[in-house]
Amino acid sequence: MAPKISNHSSQNHVNHELFHFRSNLLFERNPILILNESLDNLHVPHEVNEQTIENFLQNLEAYGTTDRPVYWLMISRLFELSLICAGYYADNCEFSAAGDLLVNPRKVLLHRKGYPHPLVKQRHGRLTEQLNQEKKCRELVLFQVKHEVTVEVAKPAILPYLFERIERSCHIASWYLHDAQNRMKKIADTIGFLSAWSLSKFEVLHNRMPKMSTKTRCFVADHQCNFDTRYFVRIGREIPRIIGNPKEYSEFFSY
């Protein structure tokens, strides 16, 4: 299968303010239904990045309907969106953006002895460099980090955060959880594979592909994610059906 390559950057997205929802609007109608319709209108993955997903997640979590199974369908749909986005980043050599969704915590707090308030760790870059504003020797900074700093993950990366919530809810079918785990592993494998080929940028991949043999191009494609949107679409169709009749059967529910 030939790889799908497109010149896309994780920084090139629509205005994310479009995905902040007025509170009065959400009270007038079922909030999950409104969020679901907004997801239907997204051009996936091109109009999606981490902030888009987080905006949807914040709006969903603000209404605290975790006792309703349809809530977990929506969480699963946001998880699907995150998987598609991370896979697309990995396929296009945007490893930092893919890693942010897969492993890099959204917020880390540093608690230092003798300081009343925690420090927010810079998401990218070395911790020792952030703490070494006074240009002390590196060995001293490493000693201080080891003995004087406690690290708290305040907001995990979106993919493991959503997966853990889905798994602990016991509402979602085991076959889906297994498939989701395999696709998260596929993202990590794709990053490792393309990095090993020294394909560190989209431009490098784009320029090298035409020079490869058909066999080699197919080999590369087999090691990319190439995720489609079928589960994202199917879950989106299930949500209004379950809202209309909560007793309806869904292939995504655990029974």
- pLDDT tens for 98-136 read 999 999 999 999 998 888 999 899 999 888 778 776 666
Q: Please state the length of the chain.
A: 255
| C-beta of residue 209 within 8 angstroms of C-beta of residue 98 | no
**What percent of the chain lies above the pLDDT cut of 90?**
64
Task: Determine which of 20-34, 81-95, 216-230 has the lowest per-residue pLDDT on average.
Answer: 20-34
Please state the rounded mean pLDDT for residues 67-88.
Answer: 96
Dist. CA 17–CA 63, nearest whole Å: 19
Q: For residue 108, what are the CA distances in angstroms to 12, 128, 154, 223, 243?
A: 26, 14, 5, 32, 37
Of residues 218, 233, 229, the one with CA closest to residue 4: 218
Q: Which residues contact 175 (CB under 8 A, 6 or more apart)?
A: none
Give the helix/strand (H/E) hosting 149: strand 149-155
Residue 155 pLDDT: 97
Q: pTM here?
A: 0.84
pLDDT in tens, 209-236: 888 999 999 999 999 999 999 999 999 9
Dist. CA 42–CA 1, nearest whole Å: 27
Q: For residue 59, what are the CA distances in angstroms to 19, 21, 74, 99, 148?
A: 9, 7, 11, 24, 37
Residue 136 pLDDT: 67
What would the two tokens of residue 166 be?
């889905």
